[in-house]
Amino acid sequence: MAQRNWRVLVADDDPAICTLIDTVLRKGPYEMITCNDAESALVAVNRNGPFDIVICDFMLPGISGIDLVERLRAGSETRSVPILMISGHNNYAMDGRAKNAGANFFLNKPFTISQLRTAVSQLLRN
């Protein structure tokens, strides 16, 4: 029986973070699509969705990560997709705003590879 690949969408304006997440997760059972802003992420969802998990930065150019999460939660095909929000700003208020918008988990940058893998696997199990 073939192993299932999880479809992952990453939206982050930092190319180094996109590359890190892509490199770490691509080694596992994941198919990756990375975007550098929320608008591109929404296009990817419409063109390639649904995804099994979305990883997005809190602060994105144009449409914010919070707005992206809210738009995903409003969509019938994306309302139950697990969302991992990441941010370089260590601020507990951001964690609350992310979760109020509909993010399932919040991870502060810099995060370890282990923290990333654990968060993704936990979100996909639930």
Helix, strand or coil, per DSSP, at residue 92: helix
Please, what are the domains in the chain? Answer: 6-125 (3.40.50.2300)
Q: Is the pLDDT of residue 105 over 90?
A: yes
Sequence-distant (6+) residues with CB within 8 A of 126 are: 82, 104
| pLDDT of amino acid 16 | 94
Percent of the chain with pLDDT over 90: 81
- Supply the DSSP symbol for 58: S
Q: Count of alpha carbons within 13 Å of 15, Cβ hemisphere only?
A: 0
Higher pLDDT, 90 or 124: 124
Mean pLDDT of 23-40: 94
pLDDT tier at 3, thresholds 50, 70, 90? low
The model's pTM is: 0.93
pLDDT tier at 49, thresholds 50, 70, 90? confident
Q: Is the pLDDT of residue 1 over 60?
A: no
H/E segment holding residue 37: none
What's the mean per-residue pLDDT of the chain? 92
